[in-house]
Amino acid sequence: MNSQRKILHADCDCFYAAVEMRDDPSLRDIPLAIGRSREHRGVIATCNYPARAYGIHSAMPTAQALRLCPHLTLLPGDFDKYREVSRQIQTIFHELTPLVEPLSLDEAYLDVTGVEGFQGSATWMAQWLKRECLARTGITVSVGVAPAKFLAKVASDWDKPDGLTVIPPEQVDSFVASLPVKKLHGVGPATGARLEALGVGNCAELRRLPRERLIEEFGKFGHRLFELARGIDERPVKIERERKSVSVETTFDSDLPDLGQARDGLAPLCDRLEERLERHGRPAIAGLFVKVRFDDFSLTTLESRGQAIDRPSFERLLAQAWARAERPVRLLGVGVRLQPEAARQQLTLPL
């Protein structure tokens, strides 16, 4: 690993809720979540720390959150306001370095390797970043500092809220050795369970498995696991992130009981997708997909290539996806996969 790299991962603390608490201080000390109203169904977008004390977290169904905390304050969210605050924070990021890779409205990677100010200290840069974001926007930001992207992201989450965690190059090996594998980039519940079945709970235990065994168990991701267990992550900070898909989805107030009503629910989604594609300038399409969440919260996604981007094509995918469970439908989504930039360039090369 290039131990000379200096990467920051900046992550706003409970961003949407933080903006609301900034604008209305009476919300600071009560359980607060951003989500749809009690009369509607949906999921929690984010919540503040008093709400998290009740076990509430992002992506939790609103109904479940209300069972855990009946006096939870729910706000619908003002995403135009959140985008404006995000723009202000991104401006501060770019004052420090032009090498900024936004991941969402509330987090980004910054490569500060070449920054000459602050005597070259990434720790001082992180401290400045936190001070400026709080002073100019009223939002606290947790920052992780490390020689690699995945380590910087782990570090930013280490001491939330309002945290600053630094992993110097000389401490990478010992820090990673004790790191639970569930903290590794790309390790979700399924992969975590498979690693646990192999007797692997942290990276020191993961290091005992040969690369060949990991590839045999996990395919190409096995090679990635081999590197991450040793703190190796050479991914650069990308100034421009290539959009991979365009999609729309909705959670229904009442479950759609059968395929016929699910088809009816598909129509307005197809119209919204068409409008969104127009706004994106009709990008080159590689395929289309349908996403279905059933009433038991199980989720299935079905993709297809080579079909027309029209309602009949989405209806055919929906029928196949619905047949996997044949249950009432809670959420529907439709979208398209975009053709990668490299593939588009190859198509335009002269013969």
User: Which of the residues are catalytic?
Assistant: 107
- Fold classification of 5-167 is Alpha-Beta Plaits (3.30.70)
- The answer to whether 276 and 246 have CB atoms below 8 angstroms apart is yes
Instruction: Report domain extents, the chain.
Output: 5-167, 177-225, 245-346
- DSSP, collapsed to helix, strand or coil, labels residue 85 as helix
pLDDT value, residue 38: 63
> pLDDT tens string for the chain (351 positions)?
444 899 999 999 999 999 999 999 999 999 999 987 666 667 898 999 999 999 999 888 888 999 999 999 999 889 889 999 999 999 999 999 999 999 888 999 999 999 999 999 999 999 999 999 999 999 999 999 999 999 999 999 999 999 999 999 999 999 999 999 999 988 888 888 999 999 999 999 999 999 999 999 999 899 999 999 999 999 999 887 667 888 988 888 788 999 999 999 998 899 888 888 887 777 788 899 999 999 888 889 999 887 778 889 999 999 999 999 999 999 999 999 888 765 545 444 444
Which option is the CATH number for 177-225: 1.10.150.20, 3.40.50.200, 3.40.50.300, 2.40.30.10? 1.10.150.20
Q: Any known ligand binding at 11?
A: yes
Alpha carbon distance 124, 129 (integer Å): 9
Alpha carbon distance 210, 214 (integer Å): 6
Output the CA–CA distances (angstroms, integers) from residue 301 to 30, 149, 273, 278, 317, in the order listed.
37, 29, 17, 24, 9
Alpha carbon distance 271, 250 (integer Å): 13
Among candidate residues 330, 324, 326, the one with its CA nearest the CA of residue 259: 326
- DSSP, collapsed to helix, strand or coil, labels residue 101 as strand
- Fold classification of 245-346 is Dna Ligase; domain 1 (3.30.1490)
Alpha carbon distance 98, 57 (integer Å): 33
- DSSP, collapsed to helix, strand or coil, labels residue 304 as strand
- The answer to whether 334 and 288 have CB atoms below 8 angstroms apart is yes
Token pair, residue 50, equals: 């008093």
Q: Any known ligand binding at 162?
A: no
